[in-house]
Amino acid sequence: MRASHLNKALAYLSKLEQWMTSLKYDQNEINKEGWEKVALAYSGDSASEDDPNLREFARNEFIKRLDGKHVLEVGCGPGTDAAKFHELGFEVLATDYSSRFLDVVRERYPYLKVKLFDMVQPESLHQKFDGIYGFGSFIHIPRELCCESLRNLNGILKRGGVLCLQLIQSSKGIEQYYIDDWAGDPQCSMLFNCYAPVEIEAQLRLAGFTEVEFLTMPASIYDEIPRLIERGITGYFVFARAA
Tell which one of 59, 140, 143, 241 touches ligand SAM (CB under 6 A).
140
**Region near ligand SAM per CB under 6 A, out of 96-104, 107-115, 154-162, 221-229:** 96-104
CA-based R_g, the chain, Å:
19
Q: Is 195 in the site for ligand SAM (CB under 6 A)?
A: no
Give CA–CA dist 229/57, Å, rounded.
Answer: 22
Q: Which of 141, 145, 156 is nearest to 73 (CA)?
A: 156
Q: DSSP readout, 20-44?
A: HHHHHHHHHHHHHHHHHHHHHHHH-
**Region near ligand SAM per CB under 6 A, out of 1-9, 84-92, 131-139, 178-186:** 131-139
Q: Is 74 in the site for ligand SAM (CB under 6 A)?
A: yes
Tell which one of 54, 120, 162, 217 touches ligand SAM (CB under 6 A).
120
Give CA–CA dist 207/210, Å, rounded.
Answer: 9
Residue closer to ligand SAM (CB basis): 180 or 211: 180
**E strands of the chain, at which residues?**
70-73, 91-96, 113-116, 129-135, 157-170, 176-179, 190-193, 209-216, 233-242
**Region near ligand SAM per CB under 6 A, out of 129-137, 152-160, 174-182, 193-201:** 129-137
Q: Which of 88, 97, 83, 165 is nearest to 132 (CA)?
A: 165
Q: Is 101 in the site for ligand SAM (CB under 6 A)?
A: yes
Q: Is 152 in the site for ligand SAM (CB under 6 A)?
A: no
The neighbour count for residue 213, using CB atoms within 10 Å, is 14
**Region near ligand SAM per CB under 6 A, out of 3-11, 116-124, 153-161, 174-182:** 116-124
Residue closer to ligand SAM (CB basis): 7 or 129: 129
Residue closer to ligand SAM (CB basis): 28 or 169: 28
> Which neighbouring-strand residues pair with 238?
165, 214
- CB of residue 2 to ligand SAM, shortest distance in Å: 45
- List contacts with ligand SAM (CB under 6 A): 28, 31, 35, 74-77, 80, 96-98, 101, 118-120, 135-137, 140-141
